[in-house]
Structure 1
Amino acid sequence: MKHGAIFDMDGTLLDTERLYQNTWVELAKEFGQTPDPAFPRAVCGSSGEHMLEIICTYYPEVDAQRFMDSCYTRVAQAVETSIPKKPGMEEILSYLRGHGVKLAVASSNAHTQIEKNLRLAGVLDYFDAVVGGDEVENSKPAPDIFLLAAQRIGCAPEDCYVFEDGANGIHAGVAAGCATVMIPDLTPATKELRAVCTAVCESLSAVRTAIETGEL
């Protein structure tokens, strides 16, 4: 068992990725664009300048900053009072914590929004560190966010699991040198992703089983 575990938030711990995906489609229409079905997946897990670049690539006619800000604002409003959790979330966090594993969240969201969402979900106290996309220069698929998370929990990257649901996050975890595990949500576990990550687990409950049996 590794000594550190770093979790993505949206689509991995919280069942919120669908909110983002649907909001991107709604906003494209509101901004006078024909929604590109490839855009929500391409932008998944990105933030900051990288997200703005993706928006400009798919929707060059829109104000990318306003488009991005609108999405963050709308999703934040949607989870203001309740937030959907992924099955097995509390169980895996309790299990790892009980075995002395240091826990972190590394999400492309702003640090304050991550803490707010985790507090609303009732799991903020499980984590030793929280790292937001606003704290690193380069967003996923660059490794910056996972390297910083590993540093904050006092573990070498190679002694950390990274649990992710999106392609950008998978590539970031691999680039950081972490044991990167994909838990598919809306992004399928393609042959290419399976080839680069350490393992694919169908759920957070399956993660626990894989650790208990020595597969991870």
Structure 2
Amino acid sequence: MTARGLPFTPAAVIFDMDGLMLDSERAIIGCLAEAAREAGHDLPEVLWLSMVGHSEAVCRHLLDEAVGEAQRELILQRSHVLYDAVVAAGVPHRPGIIAMLDFLQTRGIPRAVATSTRRPLALKKLAASGLLPHFDAVCTSSDVEHPKPAPDVYLLAAHSLGVEPAQCLVLEDSPTGVRAALAAGMYPVQIPDLLEPDDAARALGHVILPSLDDARQLLEQQLAADSLL
């Protein structure tokens, strides 16, 4: 659905990282595909896309089914080397993220990251891309028992900011993340990247927008309406 307006004024905004703020999904898939080809496996794009938004454990399982455990380890080890080089250079931003963060910071709205990436890599990616100083809290899969689509990392982010979950706006790119935000009792807005929402995702009834610029405009409209009250 498209948005006619937010039903509330968020007390905080919580961001997914990969595919939402950083153009890392393409980089990750590219590194995995290259590593697989080097190992003699020309795997279909649909396999890589099926990993988007999922935890490392899920991705490992999908690779196990495709090539077996031994080959999976070889592919992952090589892909990590390739991806480390990408991260060190600074993963490119998704369009509109700096304008969104500047908008929120100017208005004093707290911001947190809630990502399925493990903490050391998440901090490295955020720092190398110049985004880390924009956030009041960074919550990762290292910090919680259950990864997305469980609500744990989003609930931790709200707690870290001192904000009730129902007062949080979540920005996500994947259906898995949207389900996690909904399970946490938050209000998700999805900005799809590599995966267009399927019928099951659309049935969740959340707001889906083309870009972060559209999401920022939605927030601007809400804050402008508040100022008239």
Using the size of structure 2 for normalisation, the TM-score is 0.84
1:167 matched to 2:184? The reply is no
C-alpha deviation, 1:65, in angstroms: 4.6
Determine which structure has greater relative contact order: mean sequence separation of CA pairs < 8 Å that are 6+ residues apart, divided by chain length.
Answer: 2
Distance 1:81 1:149 in 2: 28
Report the CA distance shift for 1:100/1:160 in structure 2 as closer, same or farther (over 3 A): same
Report the CA distance shift for 1:188/1:137 in structure 2 as closer, same or farther (over 3 A): same
Look up the equivalent residue of 2:61 and give its one-letter code.
Answer: E
2:220 is matched with 212
1:14 matched to 2:22? The reply is yes
What's the secondary structure of 1:180's corresponding residue?
Answer: strand
1:23 matched to 2:23? The reply is no
Q: Note the aligned Cα RMSD (angstroms).
A: 2.2
1:187 matched to 2:195? The reply is yes
C-alpha deviation, 1:69, in angstroms: 4.4
Gaps of 5+ in 1: none
Q: Which moved more, 1:64-73 or 1:102-111?
A: 64-73
Report the CA distance shift for 1:167/1:64 in structure 2 as closer, same or farther (over 3 A): farther
Look up the equivalent residue of 2:180 and give its one-letter code.
Answer: A
For residues 171-198 of structure 1, the C-alpha deviation after alignment (integer angstroms, 9 at most, x for no partner) is: 2222222111111111113332223152
Aligned residues between the structures: 215
Report the CA distance shift for 1:52/1:163 in structure 2 as closer, same or farther (over 3 A): same
C-alpha deviation, 1:48, in angstroms: 3.7
Report the CA distance shift for 1:147/1:181 in structure 2 as closer, same or farther (over 3 A): same
State which of 143, 151, 158 in structure 2 corresponds to 1:143: 151
C-alpha deviation, 1:19, in angstroms: 0.5
Distance 1:136 1:31 in 2: 34
Identity of aligned residues (%): 32
1:132 is matched with 140
Tell which structure's C-alpha radius of gyration is larger: 2
What's the secondary structure of 1:173's corresponding residue?
Answer: helix
Gaps of 5+ in 2: 1-8, 224-229
Do the aligned partners of 1:36 and 1:58 also contact (CA within 8 Å) in 2? Answer: no
